[in-house]
Every structure is written in structure tokens, then in C-alpha cells.
Amino acid sequence: MTESTPAPAAAPAPSVIATPAGTEIAPPSAPFTVAVIGGTGPQGKGLGYRFARVGHTVVFGSRSAEKGQAVADEVAARLAGVEGAGAVSGAANAEAAAQADVVLLAVPWDGHDELVASLPLAGKVVVSCVNPLGFDKRGAYGLVVDAGEGSAAERAQALAPEAVVVGAFHNVSAVSLWEDGLLDEDVLVVGDSVAAKQVAIELVEGVNGRRGIDAGKLRLARQLEPWTAVLISINRKYKIHSSIRITGFDH
């Protein structure tokens, strides 16, 4: 028999986040200003809605500032009357990133590198939920990135060495995010900076009321990203919006 382990507790606030380039980032404190890159898609819109609902300021980014603003207007209407909701706005992706201390990448794998390279990400905590997936007549499958030695999150980190990238929200359904009510799943957070992971873990708590789980180093995004193909397969078979839950904690 194994003893259960208490649910993950809040860690002490870190004093500094070191980037791979050797620069340092002062850890942002909540409520954050979050730029959602690709904020007009279902995943970015759903996460941005959830972040704003608990008081974070959210800028919905798009290749078109007008499209970003239209989504911000839709989310603002949804949040009318929600006590403590954060401000929402829309902007072109780069402008959104420039305004934020936390940047969520919620874009397709196609075109990912060009877009990430174009963003002002130095000094930011970057959260990637990007899943490099392929689809054919047999369903969804994980694409091999960098001959199996990489992932979307690691690619983002390589493109933005003065930012710190963490992976999170890969396995959360956009449909569930846009619906109201608590989600009962766990969100796994991976990254090489404990301090940056704390930022994502805090964002997770606002989304589903459960602390995100520190699942290890950034390279484990290589496992988390393609795992979503399995969930998509389950969803198609059982007509549900599946996610994952980790056992062994007390919660």
C-alpha cells in the first residue's frame, strides 16, 4: 500500500527567474497581465476567458487587431457581472505580447516558429500549450519534432532565449474551458525554471480550482504534447471531452 501525498502546496515566492540566455526576470505577481497569442482560436479564447474570470488582465492577440478586439468584446460580454473579473482587450499579437508579463502561446504548430520569432518575448514568462499534431484518415497523431529530440515548447524556448518557457494546458479541452463550472482534471506543468512554473501553476488554479502539478523539466513536453492525440481519439470514440487526472494526491 502506498501513502497518499498531500495536494501540491503553494511554494514560496521565488526572487528571480534565470533565462537560458543568462538574463534575469523579476517574477510577475498575480494578478498577471496575460497576452494570449492566437487568442481568437477556441483554446486561447477559452483560457483567456478563464484567466480574466479570476482577475487577470487579458489581451487577446491575433494577426488582426480587429479580430482580437472582437474576441475581447465577446469575452467581456460573457464576464459582465462577474465580480473581480480582469480587464480584457484585443491587439495584434506582437502588441499584445509587449503589454504582458505572461505570454500564452495558443497557436497551431504550422507557422509556430515564424510567429514566435516575431514576438517581443525577452523578459517574459511564456506558457506554451501548443500541440504538434497531425490528422489523417486514422485520426490524430503526434508529429515528431526535431527527430524526437524536441517539442513545440522547447522550440519556443530556443527562439526566445531571453524568455523562460513553460509548457501547460496541453491536455485541456477548449470546449470545457468555454463552458462554465469547475473542471475536475489536473494540468501538468513542465519547465526548467521552478519559479516560472509557479506562475503557470497559479494560472492553472484560476482555471480549474486545482493547483497545477509540477511534472518536471521542459523536455517532458515531448510526451505531453502528443498525448493530446490519445485524448482526441478517446473523445471521438466516446463523444466526450476527456482530460487527465493524476492519482496519489489527497485531493
| Bridge partners, 58 (sequence order) | 34, 88
Stretch that binds ligand NAP, among 50-58, 165-173, 192-200, 209-217 (CB under 6 A): 165-173
Q: Is 89 in the site for ligand NAP (CB under 6 A)?
A: no
Stretch that binds ligand NAP, among 14-22, 39-47, 119-127, 154-162 (CB under 6 A): 39-47
Q: State in angstroms the smallest separation of the CB of 189 from ligand NAP.
A: 14
CA 219, CA 38: separation in Å to the nearest integer?
23
Rg (CA), the chain: 17
Q: State in angstroms the smallest separation of the CB of 51 from ligand NAP.
A: 15
- Supply the DSSP symbol for 5: B
Selected binder of ligand NAP within 89, 131, 157, 243 (CB under 6 A): 131
The binding track of 202-231 with respect to ligand NAP, each residue x by CB under 6 A or -, is --------------------------x---
Residues 6+ away with beta carbon under 8 Å from 47: 36, 104, 106, 129, 169, 172, 177, 207
Residue number of the CB atom closest to ligand NAP: 41
Selected binder of ligand NAP within 14, 20, 41, 150 (CB under 6 A): 41
Stretch that binds ligand NAP, among 34-42, 74-82, 134-142, 209-217 (CB under 6 A): 34-42
Q: Is 170 in the site for ligand NAP (CB under 6 A)?
A: yes
Annotate 152-172 with b (16+ C-beta within 10 A) or e (fewer). Answer: bbbbbbebbebbbbbbbbbbb
Angle at 226 between CA 224 and CA 229, to 5 degrees: 120
Q: State whether residue 242 is helix, strand or coil.
A: coil
- H or E segment at 236? helix 221-238
Nearest to 66 by CA among 87, 46, 91: 91
Q: Is 139 in the site for ligand NAP (CB under 6 A)?
A: no
Selected binder of ligand NAP within 14, 23, 67, 233 (CB under 6 A): 67
Question: Given the rule CB under 6 A, which residues bind ligand NAP?
Answer: 38, 40-44, 62-64, 67, 106-111, 115, 129-131, 133, 170, 172-174, 228
